[in-house]
Structure 1
């Protein structure tokens, strides 16, 4: 799927963060949890737990030079539920590690708002970053992956998932991707494996919710 085809279907991408993370994002880019753990020199034993186990609450990590950042909880995941819906001989910790290697974007406002309604706790502020799809995807093209499910949730009859859930966008046209998914699915998430740099080059704006 070329950046042009993908942007014609979903011209905007949305990422949710905390107000306190904006300065770090401006400096370092959007980093997946695994890259943040590397940047912040988190000890290997603690790192292994944070990368492979469910985080029922958000976790703050600190660094003498970079200050502190918060790793968002993955409370909507259940390790028990994951064990029943994973393919390719994956274990729950394998799936959680895959999630921690990626930066996630919602591809439309309907999915974004549904997530916000379901997951923002009373009194907690979040910032929505809105990106130009063509600009971002053109830069990260070979690292863009598409998913037809909410990969970070196992609430309500969790969909089956495995190594093919994250489909490299550049390998397929949109129609080919749909055919792989049975012909009817639509893109639910767009992910980037690794860090998204030069945020200002792709950012349209942001707003607090």
Structure 2
């Protein structure tokens, strides 16, 4: 799920994490520290000569207070924000996607949805993929426990554990790729514009 009008930049520069975007746009110093290691209550637009503007999304589903409740003492909220900002995130079910597109914050907005061939993505980026059993960027209404072992490599993921505890489609919640997916075009099946549950248009159909 990407910001509206972001596909041309993604097509050219790949699908990037927040940290990778900040590198591309040469954002440094205090501004970078705030975007990468502090809570973002609202979305921020960054720009650089010769590049399309990019939007770094808000983190309204999280809070410092919520993270203090669910993180172990050796991990600070700042550490957690930095960890999340180092990754590219994919939902693995349409249900999870629709929870976001129909949420209070996003249901009135248009979004660009990148539908990806998971097998192709995994084959190309296996060593950089980590799975997570929770929505790692959410602490509301219930801040589920999380720590530095929440993200696990595919071959180490405890699927059998979650299989007995969750229904199909919820046993892995997030697929993440470290830093960026520069070849995202190779894995795209469709790019659509969506508002709430409605598909407004198709930008790419492979």
What's the TM-score once normalised by structure 1's chain length?
Answer: 0.85
Q: Which has a greater percent of helix?
A: 1
Q: Which residue of 1 aligns with 2:132?
A: 147
Secondary structure, aligned partner of 1:118: coil
Q: Which residue of 2 aligns with 1:206?
A: 191
What's the C-alpha RMSD, in Å, of the aligned pairs? Answer: 1.7
Instruction: Verify: 1:63 aligned to 2:48, yes or no.
Output: yes
- Superposed displacement of residue 183, structure 1: 4.9
Secondary structure, aligned partner of 2:177: strand
Instruction: Verify: 1:126 aligned to 2:115, yes or no.
Output: no
Q: Which has the higher contact order (CA 8 A, sep 6+)?
A: 1
Q: Which residue of 2 aligns with 1:29?
A: 14
After superposition, the Cα gap between the structure-2 partners of 1:170 and 1:142, relative to the gap in structure 1 and judged at 3 Å, is farther
Q: Deviations over 1:59-108 (max 9, x none)?
A: 00110121310101111101011011102610000000001000110001
Conserved? CA contact 2:64–2:77, under 8 Å: yes
- Superposed displacement of residue 197, structure 1: 1.7
After superposition, the Cα gap between the structure-2 partners of 1:68 and 1:107, relative to the gap in structure 1 and judged at 3 Å, is same
Q: Which residue of 2 aligns with 1:41?
A: 26
- Superposed displacement of residue 111, structure 1: 1.2
Structure-2 separation of matches of 1:183 and 1:118: 29
Conserved? CA contact 1:85–1:158, under 8 Å: yes
> Which sections of structure 2, spanning at least 5 residues, go unmatched?
195-206
Instruction: Verify: 1:93 aligned to 2:78, yes or no.
Output: yes
Instruction: Verify: 1:109 aligned to 2:123, yes or no.
Output: no
Q: What is the number of residues matched between the two proteins? A: 190
- Superposed displacement of residue 123, structure 1: 3.7
What's the TM-score once normalised by structure 2's chain length?
Answer: 0.87
Structure-2 separation of matches of 1:90 and 1:177: 25
After superposition, the Cα gap between the structure-2 partners of 1:29 and 1:169, relative to the gap in structure 1 and judged at 3 Å, is same
Conserved? CA contact 1:104–1:192, under 8 Å: yes
- Superposed displacement of residue 206, structure 1: 1.6
> Which sections of structure 1, spanning at least 5 residues, go unmatched?
1-15
Conserved? CA contact 2:17–2:88, under 8 Å: yes
